[in-house]
């Protein structure tokens, strides 16, 4: 029986920051994933749109007023471009087709499955949670440009403190319940509701810290925030910031 996959929601800012596609990061990320694949791990990689999505959204908004649906579709196609980039660099171990609909039955026998945006109103975090649920995974690792969830916005509050653990209820109290196209929340609020309903936990961690990501894979102490139901903390409190 196949092992439960490791599900990663890879922030588009890791792949396509403002400076352009980060080839050095992609090379290091690929090396780490392939090392885990050699040990028998399987991965579902869901990638965001990053600065590519925001550049197209800004450009279109500068010409005509846009609906949220327009913004979403631009973002979705940016995620699909990034996903094809990932599938290409994992060609030898990846399923040959990028998943665009997490509700469709996807039969995959390769070590890596790559997925992208689905439809308006659904973020790539949402896709990651749905694919985790359908494939028996109990955790989504959310790699982003922040190293944890904070008790206040660290960009505007110098005294903001990182949180080692929090419940989904507490998290949703901070970020709300609505999806906003292009939002920069640590985890999509709509996806948070799904994860809470299905008992799926999330780890929010810095995408660039691949040493830390290796610790998450191994189940040792890592820097980041675990979001889960209360009962999960009895296991995970051994992994504080």
Residue at 158 is within a domain: yes
User: In which domain, by residue range, is 190 found?
Assistant: 6-236
For residues 113 and 86, what is the distance between their CA atoms, to the nearest angstrom?
A: 10
When pLDDT is cut at 50, 70 and 90, the band that residue 112 belongs to is very high
Per-residue pLDDT of 141-151, as tens digits, reads 999 988 999 88
Does residue 235 register a pLDDT over 50?
no
Does residue 238 register a pLDDT over 60?
no
Q: How confident is the model over 93-97, as a mean pLDDT?
A: 97
Q: How confident is the model over 131-146, as a mean pLDDT?
A: 95
Contact indicator for 56, 19 with CB cutoff of 8 Å:
no
Judged by average pLDDT, the poorest of 171-180, 187-196, 199-208 is 171-180
Listed residue (45, 41, 197, 232) closest to 131, CA to CA? 45
pTM as predicted: 0.91
Residue at 160 is within a domain: yes
| Nearest 10 degrees: Cα torsion 185, 195, 222, 230 | 110
Does residue 240 register a pLDDT over 70?
no
When divided into structural domains, the chain yields a total of 1
For residues 180 and 234, what is the distance between their CA atoms, to the nearest angstrom?
A: 33
Residue at 25 is within a domain: yes
Predicted confidence at residue 73, as pLDDT, reads 96
Residue at 1 is within a domain: no
Per-residue pLDDT of 204-229, as tens digits, reads 999 999 999 999 999 999 999 999 98
Report the CATH number that the domain containing residue 179 is assigned in CATH.
3.40.1160.10
Residue at 213 is within a domain: yes
Residue at 241 is within a domain: no
């Amino acid at each position: 029986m196949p092992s439960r996959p490791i599900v990663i929601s890879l922030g588009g800012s890791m792949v396509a920051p403002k400076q352009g596609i980060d080839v050095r990061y992609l090379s290091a990320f690929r090396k780490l994933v392939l090392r885990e694949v050699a040990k028998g791990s399987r991965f579902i990689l869901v990638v965001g749109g990053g600065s590519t999505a925001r550049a197209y959204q800004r450009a279109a908004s500068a010409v005509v007023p846009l609906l949220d649906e327009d913004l979403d579709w631009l973002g979705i196609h940016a995620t699909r471009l990034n996903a094809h980039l990932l599938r290409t660099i994992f060609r030898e171990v990846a399923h040959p087709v990028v998943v665009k609909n997490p509700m469709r039955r996807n039969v995959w026998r390769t070590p890596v499955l790559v997925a992208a945006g689905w439809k308006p109103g659904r973020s790539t975090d949402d896709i990651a949670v749905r694919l985790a649920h359908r494939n028996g995974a109990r955790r989504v690792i959310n790699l982003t440009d922040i190293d944890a969830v904070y008790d206040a916005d660290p960009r505007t509050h110098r005294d903001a403190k990182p949180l080692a653990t929090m419940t989904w209820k507490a998290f949703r109290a901070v970020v709300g319940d609505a999806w906003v196209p292009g939002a920069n929340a640590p985890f999509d609020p709509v996806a948070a509701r799904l994860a809470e309903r299905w008992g799926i936990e999330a780890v929010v961690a810095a995408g660039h810290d691949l040493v830390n990501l290796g610790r998450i894979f191994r189940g040792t102490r890592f820097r980041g925030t675990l979001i889960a139901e209360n009962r999960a903390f009895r296991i995970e409190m051994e992994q504080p910031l």
